[in-house]
Structure 1
Amino acid sequence: MAEGWVRSLELHFEYLQMRDGDRVRCAIYMLRDDASLWWEGAVHAVNLTTLTWDKFKEMFYGKFYLANVRGRLTREFMSLRQRDSSVAEFIRKFDRGCHFMPIIARDAAQKLRHFMDRLRPTLHRDVKLMRPAGYDEATACAF
């Protein structure tokens, strides 16, 4: 739920072209229930004028998205293979896993290589023959 909440906020932030400080203020406004109670205590440990969206997310995930869960999801992504999954299912899992490995997700060449290496061998060969220029093209070729 924590990840979904942050991701939905980020979609709105991108659409509205919100600045970093506005993102933090909006997220704080949107907190409810346990998260709102958490913030009442956490706010005393930060300077709101310099709090960035990334730092807010780090604090939020630290409280509501436990490290062992993030670690497990990271390990699952690193060991992800297509095997018998459909292309659509594999791409869905790959895209979700990229969220936990920004070092791969932000490097286009590494993301493409990681995706290609995890396709089932016959599909890997077929997609490689099409010489995709990037991840989006590789996923289109895989379909």
Structure 2
Amino acid sequence: MTQCRRALRKMMMTQKAYKQDKGGDAWLVMATAPVDAENWISHMEKIFDVMGCEDAFKTRLAVYMFEGNALAWWKAYKQAKGGDAWLVTVTWADFKKLFFLQFFPRAEQEHLKREYHSIHQTSTETSTEFMQRFLRLAAFLGAVAGTEEEQAKNFQWGLRRSTLNHLMYMSYTDVAQVANAAPNYEILHERDDEDTERPDKW
């Protein structure tokens, strides 16, 4: 309980600054895009990490920040599920699923699913930038994105052809392994391009 009180004091100190940064009291009345919901969850998790907050307190602390329609939705949902007796059983992972279902429009979810399964590295992206975009999509989709190995395979086949040619017969257990290998071949490809473009000396 002491930890919970300390966490509440810390959140009260940060709430005002975060609300001002997000546009005032309506900062979480209704998320209008997946990035709004994802950014809010990320903000909360940063606070939890800094404070070393236990999982049992995370949902209560998160809903403390709700206002407007978000607060009305949560009160109604909690009551329908059984009130505080139900709330104590809700893990942070459970809460995030509920939160994204409410503030992440289904049509947008379907759009991002299609984008995720057809994702490709653009001509201007480094493999690191592509990884960041890929992982952001995977985070939105949760379990739908597949296991770590499935994500690694999807990421691997989304790389530019010049990089994929070196990696396609290799197996990786997670996205980070692919991302660590890819830059080596990107550099190699850039050197090949430079050698091709460099005029011969007479």
Normalised by the size of structure 1, how large is the TM-score? 0.80
**Deviates most, 131-140 or 5-14:** 131-140
- Against the structure 1 CA distance between its residues 104 and 38, is the aligned structure 2 distance closer, same or farther, given a 3 Å change threshold? closer
Normalised by the size of structure 2, how large is the TM-score? 0.59
Q: What root-mean-square deviation, in Å, do the aligned CA atoms of Structure 1 and Structure 2 show?
A: 2.7
Map 1:73-92 → 2, pairs under 5 A:
73-87=112-126, 88-92=128-132
Q: Which residue of 2 aligns with 1:44?
A: 79
- Against the structure 1 CA distance between its residues 38 and 119, is the aligned structure 2 distance closer, same or farther, given a 3 Å change threshold? same
Where structure 2 has 5 or more consecutive residues not aligned to the other structure, the ranges are 1-35, 184-202
For residue 117 of structure 1, give the secondary structure of its aligned residue in structure 2.
helix
Q: Which residue of 2 aligns with 1:135?
A: 175
Q: Which residue of 2 aligns with 1:117?
A: 157
Alignment: residue pair count? 143
Where structure 1 has 5 or more consecutive residues not aligned to the other structure, the ranges are none
**Deviates most, 114-123 or 77-86:** 77-86
Q: Which residue of 1 aligns with 2:103?
A: 64
Choose 1 or 2 for highest CA Rg.
Answer: 2
- Against the structure 1 CA distance between its residues 101 and 41, is the aligned structure 2 distance closer, same or farther, given a 3 Å change threshold? closer
Cα deviation, residue 65, structure 1: 1.3
For residue 77 of structure 2, give the secondary structure of its aligned residue in structure 1.
helix
Q: Are the counterparts in 1 of residues 149 and 172 from structure 2 also a CA contact under 8 Å? A: no
Counterparts of 2:93 and 2:180, CA distance in 1? 31
Q: Are the counterparts in 1 of residues 148 and 173 from structure 2 also a CA contact under 8 Å? A: no
Cα deviation, residue 114, structure 1: 1.4
- Against the structure 1 CA distance between its residues 90 and 4, is the aligned structure 2 distance closer, same or farther, given a 3 Å change threshold? same
Cα deviation, residue 22, structure 1: 0.5
